[in-house]
A and B are shown apart, each in its own frame.
Chain A
Amino acid sequence: MLQIDLWKRLLIWITVAVGLVLALPNLFYPRVEQHNDAVAAIELSGESPELLDQASGWPSFLPSGLVNLGLDLRGGAHLLAEVQVQDVYASRLEALWPEVRDVLRPERDTVGTIRLQPSATGELRVRISQPEGMERALELVRGLAQPVVSLTGAMSNDLNVVAEGSDVVVTLSEAEQIATDERTMQQSLEIIRRRIDEVGTREPTIQRQGTDRILIQVPGIGSAAELKEIIGTTAQLTFQPVVGRSDDANASPGVGNEVLPSLDESGVFYILEQAPVVTGEELVDAQPSFDQNGRPAVNFRFNPTGARKFGDYTAANIGNPFAIVLDNEVISAPVIQSHIPGGSGIITGNFSVEESTQLAVLLRAGALPAGLEFLEERTIGPELGQDSIDAGRIATLVAFAAVLVFMTLSYGLFGVFANIALIINIALIFGLLSAIGATLTLPGIAGIVLTVGMAVDANVLIFERIREELKTAKGPARAIELGYEKALSAILDANITTFITAVILFVMGSGPVRGFAITLGLGILTSVFTAIYVTRLLIVMWFERRRPKTIEV
């Protein structure tokens, strides 16, 4: 009658044991956290007695996965940034101008003189003086186009080249725009990740959301503003030839040139050629250092192509100034003293030590391909997080105790079985949360408390059913069996429907809401498991030992 196969019993106990062991590290949170940090540090930078000591605070044969604490519990900063993907189109087209010039120049006989025209963003406009040669010009410029590699496989070129009067107008094709957006996003994600890693905070979340957004969550950082300083700067470094100096921001620079302000001298503007000689993309290293006068500066080194371009340019332009430009501000405009062949150099300016260090970090991590606009930012102070944890912990314990007492009063011994299952249930939730590396948020704690309340539901259903069956069934064993059998469909239906809403919450929700969905969903899984298997096993084991003639539920 009341029988559970041995293998099933073993499986149940093993599952419970695994859950408990996985949940164990959370009881020793600070110690395990220290251990994990130390292990990570050893992997990164080798052993030191201090680190080894910290690492030995937690035995390595035990699991060390912890429940991540969400920002609302630990404090930290949260940013939702939108990548200005269109920025990239402009710089792509800007960089195209020298190429266009170079292919048209040899054909001057057919197309006449060529001139760059001021153009709207997202297009490159070149005027030729002999419109009769337009056919040839279009053909040549179209020759610059390259096929786009896209997932859809449709063959298309990256450039649209059309004639408008005597202008050749170049724009990026739609396929190329999509491909560019994708690349921009990948790059932005990678660069934000690198910058945050350089600063070295624990477990940052950097996630793409939708087509052009990035979610960044960094625990333990002081404020969102601080975080924005690290990731908000595009850090686009260029070396551009200087045409002249001006004190007027509205000076007309001439076609193909631009006016940029100086970083630290107010009222000083430089007229520069738009197309850079070399860009920060070709940097391989940047380190904070000091110049010969002992002022903070940044040392940099180019890759071989960058070094060649830089070397050639300096050799050809000795005595001319060139500008070092960061995010459209001129850091400095030194005069080229001699040919610089080695591909390394130094950026000087009015830096403080912190500024030069940060600039080096930014240059090393690389420039963001496009600007970021921040749509959402949240800073949660660590004190508030700690308050929330404390309040949550007390509330959970009280809720837990109240339910335990209530169940024992209502169902006696069976209530105690349900309570044991409930404790196992909570441990399993924490075990699962740790195993999948989920994040616990404040609503997540509420989810656990709700689970505490609702987890007993399955047992209540069964116990009430056993009570009913006791009135009619022959003997307690049969009543227990029938109780489980008949309560099952109600338990499953009720929990599946709740589980459906948890899944929808998880898919649609974000941040804290998602944390709630996770604990609610896991709570349903574990509570069904504990109610159907664990309490049943407990009751069966008790029944086998005692063989009571009557039972009271």
Chain B
Amino acid sequence: MEWLDWSLVSSTIRMVTPILLAALGGALCSRVGIFNVGLEGLVLVGAFAAIVGNHFTGSLFLAVLFAAAASVLFSLLFSYMTIGLKANEIVVGVAINFLALGLTTFALRAVFDVKGAFYDKDMAGLPRLEIPLIHDIPVLGEIVSGHSPLVYLAFLASILLYIFFYRTVTGFRVLAVGMNPVAARSLGLKTTRLQVMAILLCGVLCGVAGAQLSLGQVTMFTEGMTAGRGFIALVAMMMGQSHPLGILASSLLFGFMDALSIRLQGFSLPTQFTSMLPYVLTIVAMFFLKDKNGGASSNQQSAR
């Protein structure tokens, strides 16, 4: 049973990657005062674009780049609608989700001429990196080594984002915009530009999340393959209080519960309760941490 448990941790790490990346993107948006419900759509677009890029260029690097670019295009639309036209961000986010689902399905038909799913056995997925020394250490090697590069990138991104927010000048400015846009503007900060940059960077992260989804675990695209992961990322973001390291922890919890509920299916235990636990915990966490998270949502209330 011992090795079974360690593989549980390893599969947690794999499952958590798309959620973690998207949640970090959501945190960037929430830190500039924008509640991005469109994560689901952005990840889906990234997943599709990654497959397209891989199919036509044959290069995995270009595929990931293409995924990021496609998601950035969608987040450009999001930022233009919300910031440029002052449209309600929830509404635009919902619309982006529908649009992504519809357009990827159409594009699947138009580009590959298939229905439902596209799979090409010649197409290579993301390679598994075997870290030289660590790979040979018994337990640690199994957990840490042998993932796709994007998995490591995701963990790196959360640390980089932490450094960005709390150790750099631009990061402080971004936080200031989220806390009080009016005050930030009166200090001479270019709030609009910072907001747009944050949304576009969110697009990059979501695109990479999509690439991991379609090229990392399996090498295929199916219609609506995100299956709610974008919304789970949104919840992980809330639970982590939009703090990069908090999100790392909450995403790991979600990933672990996910992996656990798959494992529990074998024992005919009700998996609904394990899946429910992260949401319940998030609500409980809100009771204690309610003050920090006022920014994005209080804006929302007054916008109507």
| Interaction A to B | no
Q: Could you tell me which B residues sit within 8 Å of A by CB distance?
A: none
Q: Could you tell me which A residues sit within 8 Å of B by CB distance?
A: none
